Homo-oligomer: A and B are copies of this chain.
Amino acid sequence: MTALHDIPQVQEAPSLHRRILADITDKIVSGEWPPGHRIPFEYELSAQYGCSRMTVNKALSQLAKAGLIERRRRSGSFVSQPKSQAAILEIHDIKTEVQALGLPYRYKLLGRTMRRATAGDRERLGLAGPSPVIALACRHFAGARPFCHEDRVISLAAVPEAEGEAFQASAPGPWLVDRVPWSVAEHRIRASGADASIAALLDIEAGAPCLVVERRTWSAEAPVTHVRFTYAGDSHMLVARFTP
């Protein structure tokens, strides 16, 4: 076999294992290799590309990790059955989002309370006992109009520094991201009618459709924060893009 590092590289940018990966990905998404199809063995591909098995292995391992193929010892590698579809949903900072709309951003704190966790707080955070929390309410503005209402609880056990923070100048979201490393987040997205108080705060009619995004965040098993963002239905849209 010709050792690739012996022959001078003429031009081309992408590395060999990337090329192999791209070729196979292409065959799969084009449908040429349908789900269940057995793709060539590593040694066959290494012969075909004139490279070592390790190089092919690198490409196939990545495909397997991405879920495009499944690998079985002794049997070979197979194109996966299409899984339940998944999409990458980017959750931007609200400030960035507003500025992306070309509007000036403003943030206003509505209230800040410190208390021992109520039953509601415990459920929102997934806390066991009545440990202290900080509850915050605020509004984010796009230009003159209210863009989003934020209702948040922070566990002081996880973020003791929050006790000394007034949250007057900067919104709690960015403040937390900068300060607390987090390991898991869970999002719930639903539509809901604005109740009287939300309607007043967002300057919309009571019962008007709103997009509600809830996020719960943990850091190493310990709950950190639960937040509920409420957007007027016509002001906001989540966009997610997925490439398999």
Contact = CB atoms under 8 A, between A and B. Distances in A.
Interface residues of A, number: 51
Given A91-B84, A239-B187, A240-B89, A209 B192 contact: yes
Interface string A233-244: 100111111111
Interface in A158-214: 177, 180-193, 207-212
Contacts of A34: 181
Interface in A215-244: 219-220, 231, 233, 236-244
A6 interface: no
A190 B82 contact: no
Interface string A70-100: 0000000000001011111111110010000
B190 A211 contact: yes
Contacts of A212: 191
A235 to B, nearest CB: 10
B220 A191 contact: no
B86 A184 contact: no
A238 B183 contact: no
A29 B91 CA distance: 19
Contacts of A88: 86-89
Contacts of A237: 188-190
Given A181-B28, A193-B208, A87 B187 contact: yes
Contact of A84 (B96, B209, B219): B96
A208 B193 CA distance: 7
A31 interface: yes
A190 B209 CA distance: 9
A30 interface: yes
Contacts of A96: 84
21 contacts: A29-B181, A29-B219, A30-B220, A31-B180, A84-B91, A84-B93, A85-B92, A85-B177, A87-B91, A186-B242, A187-B241, A189-B237, A190-B237, A190-B238, A191-B192, A191-B231, A191-B233, A193-B208, A193-B209, A209-B210, A211-B211
Interface of A: 28-31, 34, 82, 84-93, 96, 177, 180-193, 207-212, 219-220, 231, 233, 236-244
